[in-house]
């Protein structure tokens, strides 16, 4: 089979790496890919948002399956565009992608179908939003409606901060049209986790849990990023909670979307807060998480191509996922300055030493090949990923490999996976 993966990040490298293990794959392409994906796939110089260009490529190269990584082409309708030409593509339609593309749609949907989430109000008028703030208990969370590359969520400790957030989003329009409407919602307290589920529109399978590390600095300090590392499984999601999430979040979402006439085929990503009242949805995404995917897929034993094909063909009821019993940790190495401004073009050294480390794979994100060398070209540069019998082992292996890699201004968190260790300690204290 000929497969095309769309995107250029660590997530797409992990998808390519995993798909390639399928004996059914003849050719695997990635558009546009990156410096590391080049080793595993034929990279094609077409941007992820060039929908027509990608469709032409898929037609000309007899692509049997296209897998879409990022949200922008999904929200722009890439799946509808491919399907019009009879091309098989794994991902939701434009209508279904609204679950990520519009927070107002997503919150109204959750309210309608009784899916647990924070109480909220939506506004298209800034003055009305400001009046609403008068009687609020703080903190509150202000969210721009549309896609804002993960930056459109502001936790406001008091009225002044909330008014400032509204001014920025609705008046200064820092997120452009994504700020035409806003959500103001209650601030939830708890530990976060990510659940990814694959659906064919009717049935779904839930992937093992994972946890992202969104803040730039250790101990969850500093500004939000795209994600500085992840591990899987996340012990905060017990077996019972997983059942709860499948029954009360994923199931009703797939069913509700069907009722809305927006059948959901693809990956449903539920960003959850584990509150004292149970799991609550912070957000839905309609794609694989980055870097969660890098931590989840190395533990998946099942052929991912088969899973995607079953989802596209409405045959997911035949699918059972098998998992490695151990743990996986992905440490993101980033460019100094990220998530703000950072320098590019730094030579990355030590990659082959790191690659030689046992049970370790280096997923590339912001890299490119230049004069035979790998150089940085993005904020998140690499996802150094190791699998171990348990979380301690996976952490040790991943950081051992991280130490072998250098580039000027390299930055990474030193506490990826530490939250999982805490559960182990608690468990052993209980046993004593």
CB-CB contact of 327 with 233 (8 Å)? yes
185 contributes a contact to ligand AMP by CB under 6 A? yes
187 contributes a contact to ligand AMP by CB under 6 A? yes
- Give φ, ψ of 229 to 5 degrees: 160, 165
Q: How far apart are CA 86 and CA 351, in angstroms?
A: 41
Q: How far is the CB of 269 from ligand GLY (least distance, A)?
A: 7
Candidate list 71, 145, 192, 290; residue touching ligand AMP; CB under 6 A: 192
Residue 29, classified by CB atoms within 10 Å of its CB into exposed (0-12), middle (13-18) or buried (19+), is: buried
Q: 70 or 116, CB closer to ligand GLY?
A: 70
Q: How far apart are CA 202 and CA 298, in angstroms?
A: 26
Look at residue 192 and give the partner it binds from ligand GLY, ligand AMP, none, a contact being a CB closer than 5 to 8 Å depending on partner kind: ligand AMP
Give the number of C-alpha atoms closer than 13 A to the C-alpha of residue 187, restricted to the C-beta side.
14
Q: 117 or 376, CB closer to ligand AMP?
A: 117
Q: How far is the CB of 302 from ligand AMP (least distance, A)?
A: 28
Residue nearest to ligand AMP (CB): 283
Q: 296 or 374, CB closer to ligand GLY?
A: 296
Look at residue 126 and give the partner it binds from ligand GLY, ligand AMP, none, a contact being a CB closer than 5 to 8 Å depending on partner kind: none
Q: 271 or 278, CB closer to ligand AMP?
A: 271
Give the number of C-alpha atoms closer than 13 A to the C-alpha of residue 10, restricted to the C-beta side.
34
Q: 292 or 303, CB closer to ligand GLY?
A: 292
- Give φ, ψ of 385 to 5 degrees: -125, 125
271 contributes a contact to ligand AMP by CB under 6 A? yes
Q: How far is the CB of 194 from ligand AMP (least distance, A)?
A: 9
| Subset of residues 213 to 232 that bind ligand AMP, contact rule: CB under 6 A | 214
Q: How far is the CB of 149 from ligand GLY (least distance, A)?
A: 10
Look at residue 53 and give the partner it binds from ligand GLY, ligand AMP, none, a contact being a CB closer than 5 to 8 Å depending on partner kind: none
Q: How far is the CB of 19 from ligand AMP (least distance, A)?
A: 27
- Which whole-number Å values give the CA distances from 17 to 130, 163, 337, in the listed order? 48, 45, 29
Look at residue 285 and give the partner it binds from ligand GLY, ligand AMP, none, a contact being a CB closer than 5 to 8 Å depending on partner kind: ligand GLY
Q: How far apart are CA 191 and CA 186, in angstroms?
A: 16
CB-CB contact of 141 with 184 (8 Å)? yes
Closest CA to 145 of 163, 170, 127: 170
118 contributes a contact to ligand AMP by CB under 6 A? yes
Q: 123 or 338, CB closer to ligand GLY?
A: 338
14 contributes a contact to ligand AMP by CB under 6 A? no
Q: How far apart are CA 94 and CA 116, in angstroms?
A: 24
Candidate list 96, 153, 351, 401; residue touching ligand AMP; CB under 6 A: 153
- Give φ, ψ of 77 to 5 degrees: 95, 30
Q: 99 or 357, CB closer to ligand GLY?
A: 99
b/e code 187-224 from CB counts within 10 Å (16+ = b): ebebbbbbbbbbbbbebbbbbbbbbbbbbbeeeeeeeb
| Subset of residues 275 to 314 that bind ligand AMP, contact rule: CB under 6 A | 282-283
- Residues within the interface to ligand GLY (CB under 6 A): 150, 212, 227, 285, 289-290, 292
Q: Three-class SS of residue 122?
A: strand
Q: How far is the CB of 125 from ligand GLY (least distance, A)?
A: 29
Q: 17 or 123, CB closer to ligand AMP?
A: 123
Q: How far is the CB of 99 from ligand GLY (least distance, A)?
A: 13
Q: Which residues pair with 387 in a beta bridge?
A: 328
Q: Per-residue DSSP letters for 261-312?
A: T---EEEEEEEEEEETTEEEEEEEESS--TTHHHHHGGGB-S-HHHHHHHHH
DSSP at 136: P
Q: 289 or 388, CB closer to ligand GLY?
A: 289
169 contributes a contact to ligand AMP by CB under 6 A? no
Q: 35 or 226, CB closer to ligand GLY?
A: 226
Q: How far is the CB of 349 from ligand AMP (least distance, A)?
A: 33
CB-CB contact of 106 with 82 (8 Å)? no
104 contributes a contact to ligand AMP by CB under 6 A? no
- Which whole-number Å values give the CA distances from 297 to 12, 233, 290, 383, 412, in the listed order? 11, 11, 11, 13, 22
Binding positions for ligand AMP, rule: CB under 6 A: 118, 141, 143, 150, 153, 155, 185, 187-188, 192, 214, 271, 282-283
């Amino acid at each position: 089979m000929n497969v095309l993966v769309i995107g250029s990040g660590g997530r797409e490298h992990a998808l390519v790496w995993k798909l390639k293990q399928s004996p059914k794959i003849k050719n695997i392409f990635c558009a546009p890919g990156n410096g590391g994906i080049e080793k595993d796939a034929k990279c094609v110089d077409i941007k992820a948002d060039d929908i027509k260009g990608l469709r032409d490529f898929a037609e000309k190269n007899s692509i049997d399956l296209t897998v879409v990584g990022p949200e922008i082409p999904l929200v722009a309708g890439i799946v509808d565009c491919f399907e019009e030409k009879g091309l098989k593509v794994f991902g939701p339609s434009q209508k279904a992608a609204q679950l990520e593309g519009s927070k107002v749609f997503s919150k109204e949907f959750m309210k309608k179908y009784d899916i647990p989430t924070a109480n909220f109000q939506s506004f298209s008028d800034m003055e009305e939003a400001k009046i609403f703030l008068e009687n609020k208990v703080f903190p509150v969370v202000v969210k721009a409606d549309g896609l804002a590359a993960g930056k459109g969520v502001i936790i406001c400790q008091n009225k002044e901060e909330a008014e400032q957030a509204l001014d920025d989003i609705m008046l200064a329009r820092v997120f452009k049209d994504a700020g035409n409407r806003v959500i103001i919602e209650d601030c939830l307290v708890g530990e976060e986790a990510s659940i990814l589920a694959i659906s064919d529109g009717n049935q779904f399978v839930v992937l093992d849990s994972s946890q992202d590390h969104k803040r730039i600095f250790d101990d969850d300090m500093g500004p939000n990023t795209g994600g500085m590392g992840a591990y899987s499984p996340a012990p905060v999601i017990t077996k019972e909670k997983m059942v709860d999430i499948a029954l009360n979040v994923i199931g009703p979402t797939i069913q509700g979307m069907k009722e809305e006439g927006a059948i959901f085929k693809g990956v449903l990503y539920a960003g959850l807060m584990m509150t004292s009242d149970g799991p609550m949805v912070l957000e839905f995404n309609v794609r694989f998480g980055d870097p969660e995917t890098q931590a989840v897929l190395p533990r998946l034993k099942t052929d991912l191509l088969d899973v995607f094909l079953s989802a596209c063909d409405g045959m997911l009821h035949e699918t059972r996922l098998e998992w490695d019993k151990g743990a996986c940790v992905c440490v993101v190495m980033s460019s100094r300055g990220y998530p703000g401004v950072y320098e590019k073009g730094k030579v990355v050294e030590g990659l082959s030493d790191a690659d030689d480390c046992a049970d370790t794979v280096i997923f590339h994100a912001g890299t490119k090949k230049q004069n035979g060398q790998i150089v940085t070209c993005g904020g998140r540069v690499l996802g150094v990923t190791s699998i171990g019998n348990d979380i301690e082992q996976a952490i040790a292996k991943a950081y051992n490999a991280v130490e072998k890699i250098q580039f000027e201004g390299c930055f990474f968190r030193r506490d990826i996976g530490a939250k999982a260790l805490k559960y182990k300690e608690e468990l052993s204290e209980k046993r004593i």
